[in-house]
């Protein structure tokens, strides 16, 4: 059986055509699944009785079960630990902000890129998520928002009923699973479904250039976030093994090429690690290598969760780094991980529950 949430509206329309049903029923089905958030979209009263047998007899509505939900005391972000049908655990984080609600979704169970400071990287790659397993994280989060109407109101925020932005910054390297991620984006942005704008979806990559080319051919307007983490090639290879396959220079060349086609800025993510990449020498080189690119830099102090050889930088080092970038004309923000009390950072909940050695 295929997961209903993996199916695009166009495929449903094709199925309708092939079985002699009007295509309009595919739109009704999509609205029922993604706008009304129905438990049983194929059984919507406005659909003909034979819809399920004609169009959906090989489809199963598979929502992941939330085995753990934690709400941060500090910023009310909500972390979900979702269990997929095969028992795989992935996490998603819902982050309330002033005029938007962002959902950070996972694209893989684990990750093969093995960045040395990353909890998910220590798991290795268990498997790719299917498009429906990505989309269903959005559906489950929207259902949680609908059942907690006071969540945003208590924060003094507008009562947004739905997720407004998606970031592919959860578990996994999204461009290592590019077909499923691109399909999920097609479904999430369908105007008759969740209707998210493409400019409100960010795909974050450690520099997977093969996947980047494919993603831009499918969704040229999707927002891109590139994790740099070190502006020096040899140092970057030490903390991000993907740099040995796609070196920094090639990544920067690809970004320059991409910016000739896209009309928006690229986000540079820079996780700051004490004594590894937090010096002024690194800040100066980061300015040099990004010259001419339209970028904004997010400095993310490493979120220390368990004893590790890596530590977060001193506040003075973070500020000096930020000031250097700012005075050099770069747009820069310091972003602390949301929900630090609930480990709402890359892969941490899952590793906490299943992979940390006693
Ligand atoms: S930082 Fe991202 S790409 Fe690197 S191991 Fe972690 S999840 Fe994978």
Q: Are residues 109 and 234 in the same domain?
A: yes
CB 78 within 8 A of CB 94: yes
193 close to ligand 1 (CB < 6 Angstrom) = no
Contact call for residues 111 and 125 (beta carbons, < 8 A) = yes
Structure tokens at 128: 């790719």
Q: Are 12 and 120 in the same domain?
A: no
Total number of domains constituting the chain: 2
Q: Are 214 and 254 within one domain?
A: yes
Atom in ligand 1 nearest the alpha carbon of residue 206: 3
Q: What is the pTM of this model?
A: 0.93
Q: Do 7 and 48 fall within a single domain?
A: yes
- Helix pair angle (280-289, 315-327), 10° resolution: 30
Q: Encode the chain (358 residues) as per-residue pLDDT tens digits.
A: 999 999 999 999 999 999 999 999 999 999 999 999 998 998 888 888 888 888 888 999 999 999 999 998 888 899 999 999 999 999 999 999 888 999 999 999 999 999 998 888 888 999 999 999 999 999 999 999 999 988 988 888 888 789 999 999 999 999 999 999 999 999 999 999 999 999 999 999 999 999 999 999 999 999 999 999 999 999 999 999 999 999 999 999 999 999 988 888 999 999 999 999 999 999 999 999 999 999 999 999 988 766 567 899 999 999 999 999 999 999 999 987 766 665 555 545 555 543 222 2
**113 pocket-lining for ligand 1 (C-beta < 6 Å):** yes
Characterize the bridge pairing of strands 59-60 and 2-3. Answer: parallel
Query: Residue 21 is part of which domain span?
Result: 2-60
Using alpha carbons, list the distances in angstroms from residue 305 to 33, 70, 330, 356: 37, 16, 30, 11
In the annotation, is 111 catalytic? no
CA nearest ligand 1 atom 4, residue:
115
Of 12, 40, 60, which one is at a domain's C-terminal end?
A: 60
Do 218 and 301 lie in one domain? The reply is: yes
């Amino acid at each position: 059986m295929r997961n209903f949430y993996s199916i695009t509206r166009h495929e449903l329309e094709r199925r309708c055509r092939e079985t002699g049903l009007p295509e309009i029923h595919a739109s009704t089905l999509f609205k029922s699944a993604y706008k009304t958030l129905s438990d049983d979209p194929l059984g919507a009263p406005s659909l003909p009785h034979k819809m399920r047998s004609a169009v959906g007899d090989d489809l199963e509505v598979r929502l992941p079960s939330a085995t753990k939900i934690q709400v941060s005391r500090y910023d009310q972000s909500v972390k979900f630990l979702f269990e997929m049908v095969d028992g795989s655990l992935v996490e998603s984080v819902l982050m309330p902000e002033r005029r938007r609600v962002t959902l950070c979704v996972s694209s893989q169970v684990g990750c093969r890129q093995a960045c040395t400071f990353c909890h998910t990287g220590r798991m290795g790659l268990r498997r790719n998520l299917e498009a429906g397993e990505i989309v269903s994280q959005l559906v489950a989060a929207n259902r949680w928002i609908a059942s907690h109407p006071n969540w945003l109101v208590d924060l003094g925020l507008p009562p947004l009923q739905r997720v407004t932005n998606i970031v592919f910054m959860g578990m996994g390297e999204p461009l290592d699973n590019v077909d499923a991620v691109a399909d999920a984006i097609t479904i999430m942005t369908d105007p008759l479904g969740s209707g998210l704008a493409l400019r409100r979806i960010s795909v974050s990559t450690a520099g997977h250039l093969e996947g980047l080319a494919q993603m831009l051919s499918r969704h040229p307007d999707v927002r891109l976030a590139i994790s740099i983490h070190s502006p020096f090639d040899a140092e970057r290879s030490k903390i991000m093994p993907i740099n040995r396959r796609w070196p920094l220079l090639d990544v920067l060349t690809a970004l320059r090429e991409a910016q000739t086609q896209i009309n928006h800025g690229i986000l540079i993510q820079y996780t700051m690690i004490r004594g590894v990449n937090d010096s002024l020498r690194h800040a100066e080189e980061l300015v040099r290598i990004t010259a001419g690119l339209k970028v904004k830099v997010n400095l993310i102090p490493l979120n220390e969760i368990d004893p590790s050889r890596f530590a977060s930088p001193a506040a003075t080092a973070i500020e000096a780094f930020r000031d250097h970038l700012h005075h050099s004309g770069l747009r820069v923000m310091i972003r602390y991980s949301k929900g630090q009390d609930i480990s709402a950072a890359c892969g941490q909940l899952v590793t906490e529950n299943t992979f940390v050695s006693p």
